[in-house]
Amino acid sequence: MKSKRVKRDRTESVALVVLAEMSDLIDALWILRALRSSYPETKVAVVTALAYRSLVEGEGAEFIACPARGVRGLWCAASALRCGGYRSLADLQGSVRTFMLRIAFALRTFFGSRTRVVDRARQSRKMMTRKFRKVLLPNTFSTERYRLTLERLGFVNLVLPNNPIGSAERDFYIPEQLTSVLGEKSGVWVGYAPFADTRGKMFPTSTSDKLVALLVERFERVVIFGGGDMERLFAEGVAEKYGPKVVPAVGLLSPYEEMKLMGAVDLIISPDNPSLHLASLAGTPVLSIWGSTHPFAGGAGYGQNPEWQLQLDLPCRPCAVRGERGCIFGDRRCINGITPEMVAERAEQIVRELGN
């Protein structure tokens, strides 16, 4: 007598895959929060780079490492998913590398798995970033596209959580490494994340230096966020130059601790970089600065007020979704046309609007 095959519920477990950008991973964490709320019994894993482990585990999901290069890492990640009993996989990146991971996952599960890939809206983004006859229309926000991907896996009742930006209920956390420097909370604290992965998205160092000087005059604390040697040297330099009001928080904290510290800051000033998304996850208002990229590409901070986006209306913008192309004029007028005075004045206006 043949035994009946028992069909497993596809919503029992799911793995979310984001291997590349930290910004994409942070947007995917909103999906993780939605899964914990709408499907509390579902087992969730996140497959991403080792550097983001603290963020994944801090949000209560199983972390599975997958290095940025090498075939062996893909096979090991697929093996870990199989050992964990995962049969559903949501590819939230849609790249060649994640395609290879999906193949390895199918092989390791003997083709008993189910996968879905996010719609990256490549055609609309291509029309937005071409040199001539740009079609500048808002794309679906990244987190919503991730939700639709999970819906095609069977998570039809998934509801994205509200993001109360600027709420007084945010976690107030100051890490031990900075307790003596920051002291008790008094006055308005402003965070500044000056650097991005491409030059078209960030101010020159001299402009950032002038902006810090203006922020020191207006606010009680200026916390410098970021990661890497260049950011650390800049943060230490402006702290030495402008005194104890400037607090460097570069290279001292894990990404999860950095996100928690952002919850104690009243406003973050950031270009199109991961700090914009990290601050949104913490519920902190962000004055975002846009140069060669554009918020219409779907990469603005989740829940942030569109009126807090500082950008110039130029016919050449945006020139790339990620900002990786060189300026056709050679002067990066999209970012260099935004002055430190414009940023500082807009930051003061937002702080007043928030009642701080």
pLDDT tens-digit map of 83-114: 999 999 999 999 999 999 999 999 988 888 89
pLDDT, position 318: 92
Same domain, residue pair 226 and 349: yes
Confidence of residue 55 (pLDDT cuts 50, 70, 90): very high
Range of the domain at 190: 176-354
- Look up residue 339 and give its amino acid: T
- Residue 7 included in any domain: no
CB burial readout 98-133, b (16+ within 10 A) else e: beebbebbbebbeeebebbbbebbeebbeebbeeee
pLDDT, position 2: 47
Domain finish residue from 118, 151, 184? 151
Same domain, residue pair 190 and 236: yes
- Could you tell me if 227 and 278 are in contact, meaning their C-beta atoms sit under 8 angstroms apart? no
- Could you tell me if 28 and 46 are in contact, meaning their C-beta atoms sit under 8 angstroms apart? yes
Instruction: Check: pTM over 0.85? Answer yes or no.
Output: yes
pLDDT, position 297: 87
- Residue 113 included in any domain: yes
Same domain, residue pair 208 and 348: yes
Same domain, residue pair 220 and 275: yes
- Residue 160 included in any domain: no
Mean pLDDT for all residues in the chain? 90
CA distance 14 to 260: 26
- Residue 6 included in any domain: no
Same domain, residue pair 144 and 260: no
300: CB partners within 8 A, 6+ apart: 141, 276, 288, 306, 309
Domain count, the chain: 2
- Residue 168 included in any domain: no
CATH code of residue 103 = 3.40.50.2000
Same domain, residue pair 55 and 130: yes
pLDDT, position 6: 41
Confidence of residue 138 (pLDDT cuts 50, 70, 90): confident
Same domain, residue pair 147 and 191: no
Q: 267, 302, 244, 298: which is closest to 128 by C-alpha? A: 298
Element spanning 196, H or E: none
Q: Is the pLDDT at 8 greater than 70, yes or no?
A: no
- Look up residue 301 and give its amino acid: G
Confidence of residue 118 (pLDDT cuts 50, 70, 90): very high
CA distance 47 to 65: 6
Q: Under DSSP, is residue 47 helix (H, G, I), strand (E, B) or coil? A: strand
Same domain, residue pair 350 and 202: yes
Same domain, residue pair 134 and 188: no
Burial of 267 (C-beta count, 10 Å sphere; 0-12/13-18/19+): buried
Mean pLDDT on 142-166: 90
Give the pLDDT confidence of 128-137 residue by residue, as tens digits: 888 888 888 8
Domain finish residue from 100, 116, 151? 151
Same domain, residue pair 228 and 90: no
DSSP string over 126-180: HHHHSSSS----PPPPHHHHHHHHHHTTT-TT--PPP--TT-TTS-----HHHHH
What Rg value do the Cα atoms of the chain yield, rounded?
Answer: 21
Same domain, residue pair 199 and 68: no
- Residue 167 included in any domain: no
Same domain, residue pair 115 and 226: no
